[in-house]
């Protein structure tokens, strides 16, 4: 119960009030609230203008046949949504294919994106010689933009002229794997490139979490006769729980929003097998100018992600509750 939470990186007690909080007790709470709101205002305004307003506007758009190039946008009620759930309609086949591709990518990338950084973080937490250098090396790819990694890996992974197949050739594997052209190899490339790219960020978050675990707990576990593996399961993992919740949630969401890798590496091929939901939505809205249908798709994707996030949070809080 409560004693397991000791290991949690204790949240710095948020300094309630301000410097003036002590001299004037209680009375001016109205003014203090106002001050707080004033400090929050810049973010609140940005949030309202760039998140809330477009979100509401998006619902409105999704109820129309909305071609931004044309002056008239007829109201069509829920048709855009109904089409998505009507087999054989213009959008349903492609949309659910892209949702399936997103699901495949998320299911295969998230475990690696959590497990590998965790392993690396635990290793780097051992006060190794040169640990900082390794940390920098693992983090480095994350600094690059998706355009850069996309172009670089497309060269490396090209089935006929790429470096990787040439290296394999040298090792006697002459199959010329279609890394960017056909499934399942395309999925291996997409997941592999993403793990290489993003792991550094998760690693740094987890490492910070590891630093927050009280060293005395390891000592106590050692006295009780726990070995390295037992310490990992009984001290490290429970201690990392809040950080893990953050890492898994953001990783699931960012994997579900994958766009650039498919767009640059595979172009959605073969057929549309690796075209993710975001890629299809972007194409539908921005290239085909069907903003209404694209907005409806965004909301369906949003609903699915919201449900997954809620389940995820429930699971995490249940395990930390016992």
Partner 1 sequence: MKKGFARRAIAATVALGLGMTLAACSSGGGGGGGTAVQSGDYKGPKVTVTFWNGWTGGDQQTILKKLVSQFNSSHKNITINPVELQWADISAKMPLAIKAGKGPDVTVAHGDDIATYAAQGLLVKSDAIIKDLGYTASDFPPGLFEHGAYQGAQYGIPWSVTPLGLYVNKSVLQKAGISPTDTPADKATYLSDLQKLKSKGIQGEWVDGYVFTGTFEFESLLWQYGGDLFNKDVSKATFNSPAGVQALTWMVDLVKQGYSPGKVAQDGNINALIAGKNAFNWNGIWQTSNTALLKDQWAAAPVPQIGSQKAVWSSSTDWAFVNNKGQDKNKTQAAAVFVKWMNEHSTVWAGGGELPAANKVRNAASLASQYPNLKPFLGELQYAHFETTAPGIPNAEATITTAVNEAVLQKKSPKQALDDAASQADKLLAQNKQQYGG
Neighbour tally for 154: CB within 10 Å: 18
Q: Give every CB contact of residue 170 below 8 A, 6+ residues apart in sequence.
A: none
* 3-state helix/strand/coil string of 245-262: HHHHHHHHHHHHCCCHHH
SS3 for 75?
strand
Q: Does the footprint of partner 1 cover residue 6 (CB under 8 A)?
A: no
Selected range binding partner 1 among 13-21, 232-240, 256-264, 305-313, rule: CB under 8 A: 256-264
Cβ distance to partner 1 smaller for residue 7 or 190: 190
Cβ distance to partner 1 smaller for residue 18 or 68: 68
Judged by CB under 8 A, the residue of 72, 171, 223, 229 near partner 1 is: 72
Sign of CA dihedral 137, 143, 146, 149: negative
CB of 258 vs partner 1, minimal distance in Å: 5
4: left (phi over 0), alpha (psi -120 to 50) or beta: alpha
Selected range binding partner 1 among 12-20, 89-97, 214-222, 226-234, rule: CB under 8 A: 89-97
Q: Which residue has the tokens 């909301």?
A: 299
Selected range binding partner 1 among 118-126, 129-137, 154-162, 205-213, rule: CB under 8 A: 154-162
Structure tokens at 183: 């499934």
CB of 63 vs partner 1, minimal distance in Å: 14
Judged by CB under 8 A, the residue of 253, 304, 305, 308 near partner 1 is: 253
Q: Which residue has the tokens 């960020």?
A: 201
SS3 for 180?
coil
Q: Does the footprint of partner 1 cover residue 184 (CB under 8 A)?
A: no
Q: How many residues does the chain have?
A: 322
For 305, counting Cβ atoms within 10 Å of its Cβ (0-12 exposed, 13-18 middle, 19+ buried), the class is middle
Q: Does the footprint of partner 1 cover residue 90 (CB under 8 A)?
A: yes
By CB under 8 A, the residues from 162 to 181 that bind partner 1 are 176, 178, 180-181
Which of 64-100 are b and which e, b meaning 16 or more Cβ less than 10 Å from the residue's Cβ?
A: bbbeeeeeebeebeebbbebbeeeebebeebbbbbbe
Judged by CB under 8 A, the residue of 121, 124, 198, 210 near partner 1 is: 198
Q: Does the footprint of partner 1 cover residue 161 (CB under 8 A)?
A: yes
Q: Does the footprint of partner 1 cover residue 68 (CB under 8 A)?
A: yes
Nearest to 21 by CA among 30, 32, 13: 32
Selected range binding partner 1 among 9-17, 202-210, 241-249, 284-292, rule: CB under 8 A: 284-292
Judged by CB under 8 A, the residue of 131, 152, 168, 182 near partner 1 is: 182
Q: Does the footprint of partner 1 cover residue 7 (CB under 8 A)?
A: no
- Report whether 121 contacts 210 (CB < 8 A): yes
Cβ distance to partner 1 smaller for residue 38 or 52: 52
Selected range binding partner 1 among 20-28, 60-68, 123-131, 238-246, rule: CB under 8 A: 60-68
Point out which residues bind partner 1 (CB under 8 A): 50, 53-54, 57, 65, 67-72, 89-90, 93-94, 145-147, 154, 158-161, 176, 178, 180-182, 194, 197-198, 250, 253-255, 257-261, 267, 269-272, 278, 282, 285-291
């Amino acid at each position: 119960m409560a004693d397991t939470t000791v290991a949690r990186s204790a949240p710095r007690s948020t300094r309630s009030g301000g410097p003036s909080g002590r001299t004037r007790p209680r009375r001016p709470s109205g003014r203090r609230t106002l001050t707080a709101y004033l400090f929050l205002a810049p973010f609140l305004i940005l949030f309202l203008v760039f998140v809330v307003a477009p979100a509401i506007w998006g619902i409105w758009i999704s109820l129309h046949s909305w071609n931004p190039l044309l002056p008239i946008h007829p109201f069509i009620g829920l048709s855009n949504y109904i089409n998505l759930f009507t087999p054989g309609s213009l959008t349903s086949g492609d949309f659910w294919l892209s949702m399936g591709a997103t699901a495949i990518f998320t299911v295969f990338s998230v475990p690696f994106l959590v497990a590998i950084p965790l392993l690396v973080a635990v290793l780097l937490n051992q006060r190794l010689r040169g640990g900082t250098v390794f940390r920098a090396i693992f983090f480095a790819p994350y600094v690059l933009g998706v355009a850069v990694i996309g172009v670089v890996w497309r060269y490396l992974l090209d089935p006929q002229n790429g470096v990787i197949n040439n290296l394999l050739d040298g090792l006697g594997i002459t199959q010329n794997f279609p890394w960017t052209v056909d499934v399942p190899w395309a999925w291996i490339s997409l997941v592999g490139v993403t793990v290489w790219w993003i792991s550094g960020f998760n690693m740094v978050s987890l490492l910070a979490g590891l630093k927050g675990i009280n060293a005395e707990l390891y000592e106590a576990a050692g006295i009780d006769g726990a070995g390295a593996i037992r310490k990992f399961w009984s001290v490290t993992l429970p201690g990392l729980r809040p950080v893990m919740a953050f890492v898994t949630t953001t990783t699931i969401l960012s994997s579900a929003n994958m766009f650039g890798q498919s767009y640059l590496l595979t172009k959605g091929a073969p057929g549309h097998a690796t075209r993710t939901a975001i890629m299809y939505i972007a194409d539908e809205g921005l290239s085909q100018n069907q903003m209404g249908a694209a907005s409806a798709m965004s909301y369906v994707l949003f609903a699915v992600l919201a449900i997954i996030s809620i389940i995820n949070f429930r699971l995490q809080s249940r395990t930390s509750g016992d």
